[in-house]
Structure 1
Amino acid sequence: MDAGEEGPPLETHLLVQLPHVRRWLAPFILTCSVYFLLWIPEDQPSWVSALVKSLPVLCLVIFLGAVTSSSSYARLLQGALVCSAVGDACLIWPEAFLYGMAAFALGHLLYIRAFGLTPLQPALLLLVLPALLGYFSLLLPHLEPDMAPAVASYGLILSIMLWRGLARGRSARWGALLFTISDSVLALDTFALTVPHARLVTMATYYAAQLLITLSALRSPEIKAN
């Protein structure tokens, strides 16, 4: 079956049927809970807050290594997750924002490589690109001139990641969509206007997105035995 074809939620079946898969997800759930319970103020940047923010994503790297075989897809996802963790840490400090954006851009490129170009589904791209242009036109008046090229480049990479995630289907589809929502809320709140509960929305959708993309690696031939 092609990745984009409809079918039963295989990832959910594997979570239900294989206890060791659920067990290896426990650290991710625990560290997410710690992040939201501590809710360290953003005006108190520190290596502790960077670690607390990055740990859930790093737990997903370990999860993939523990429950999947060393397929190229799983390795690319692990690389993207590591880049995301670096980006998480960088965004703790406002002066490192561009470094964080670069780390996430590299992560998205790895996701694009993992999702592949089959099935191509160009019609999806024709839906994504107008949305990108409309959103960027909203942000552009609020961007500093030296920030506009970086934000535009990141937005293009994010849009391609969304296109390929939607085309791949299953949990990757929803993960890519939630990642786009997370980044869109973050950019809107950072550059344009104050979004109510922006941090909560951004982080909740972000962690859910990373989890769903990670779960897209769960395919029966690639799952390790207990």
Structure 2
Amino acid sequence: MQAILGGSQADMDSRKEGLPGKPCFSAHHVGRWLIPFFLTCAIYFLFWSPENQPSWVGALIKCLPILHLAVFLRTVHPGGSYSLLLQGALLCSAVGDCCLVWPEAFLYGMAAFAMAHLLYIWAFGLTPLKPGLLLPVLLVSIPYHGFLLWHLPPDMVLPLTAYSLVLAAMLWRGLARGGSAGWGALLFTLSDAVLAWNTFAYPLPHAHLVIMTTYYAAQVLIGLSAFQSPRLKSN
């Protein structure tokens, strides 16, 4: 990204609509704002332990990186519907993070993350549609979900199926938008896939480390897409 440029009214309007416009801030400025995000991630990994009992302190430490990303977007990129939708998705994600600290609140956490994905889908939009990207998403998602169904308790089949559909749609739209949004959507899907398999099927070695590393990386990549122009080509 270039340094701050004098923006015309057209640039301001394009940013509001999520269309290409001149960037408002330098990469150095954005990078300085992301330092607290990486610090709070480090704090989480330093203090988290499999033996930890669920607590509000632990939930806060887990949520801090995501809350900082929301504040970061609000402060550094306050304007435009795209940024506002990302901020809403991050806040929903923070609620989901809190709920997942307590196993008995798993369904509430899944509902919060489903809302976050719906907001991401809204932000990514349907232009360009790129229906060809939907096929590989379905070819991976459907078999995976089919294998997972064998291990789900009956009361989780419908909620997890609905969530998987929303997640697959978010991945499709993220890949269609491209840039860091596409990579973020891909990592978010990987994080959720490992979480579901580790929770309902078979425990995986170092699962929590993989889940949270890919999750935090996904959220920051999607957040950074607010500073990128969407790909408007239809092919």
TM-score higher than 0.5 here?
yes
Which residue of 2 is the match for residue 141 of structure 1?
150
Kept in 2, the 8 Å contact 1:24–1:66? The answer is no
Q: Which amino acid in the other structure matches residue 174 of structure 1?
A: W
Aligned residue for 1:142, secondary structure, equals coil
Which residue of 1 is the match for residue 185 of structure 2?
176
Q: How does 1:51-66 map to 2 (within 5 A)?
A: 51-66=60-75
Using the TM superposition, give the Cα deviation of residue 27 of structure 1 relative to its aligned residue in structure 2, in angstroms: 1.3
Structure 2 unaligned blocks of 5 or more: 1-22, 230-235
Whichever of the two has the greater Rg, that structure is 2
Kept in 1, the 8 Å contact 2:78–2:84? The answer is no
Pairing partner for 1:98 from 100, 107, 110: 107
Number of paired residues?
208
- Residues 1:29 and 2:42 aligned together: no
Which residue of 2 is the match for residue 126 of structure 1?
135
Structure 1 unaligned blocks of 5 or more: 1-12, 221-226
Kept in 1, the 8 Å contact 2:179–2:228? The answer is no
Q: Which amino acid in the other structure matches residue 28 of structure 2?
A: P
Kept in 2, the 8 Å contact 1:42–1:92? The answer is no
Aligned residue for 2:226, secondary structure, equals coil
CA distance in structure 1 between the aligned counterparts of 2:199 and 2:28, rounded to whole angstroms = 41
- Residues 1:158 and 2:167 aligned together: yes
Using the TM superposition, give the Cα deviation of residue 87 of structure 1 relative to its aligned residue in structure 2, in angstroms: 0.2
CA distance in structure 1 between the aligned counterparts of 2:90 and 2:227, rounded to whole angstroms = 16
Q: How does 1:183-198 map to 2 (within 5 A)?
A: 183-198=192-207
CA distance in structure 1 between the aligned counterparts of 2:206 and 2:72, rounded to whole angstroms = 30
CA distance in structure 2 between the aligned counterparts of 1:45 and 1:63, rounded to whole angstroms = 28
Runs of 4+ residues deviating >4 angstroms: none
What root-mean-square deviation, in Å, do the aligned CA atoms of Structure 1 and Structure 2 show?
1.7
Q: Percent identity?
A: 64
Using the TM superposition, give the Cα deviation of residue 70 of structure 1 relative to its aligned residue in structure 2, in angstroms: 1.4
Compare relative contact order (CA 8 Å, sep 6+) and give the higher one, 1 or 2.
1
Q: Which amino acid in the other structure matches residue 139 of structure 2?
A: P
Deviations 1:140-178 (A, max 9, x none): 111011100000000000000000000000000000000
Aligned residue for 2:101, secondary structure, equals coil
Using the TM superposition, give the Cα deviation of residue 41 of structure 1 relative to its aligned residue in structure 2, in angstroms: 3.1
Using the TM superposition, give the Cα deviation of residue 19 of structure 1 relative to its aligned residue in structure 2, in angstroms: 2.7
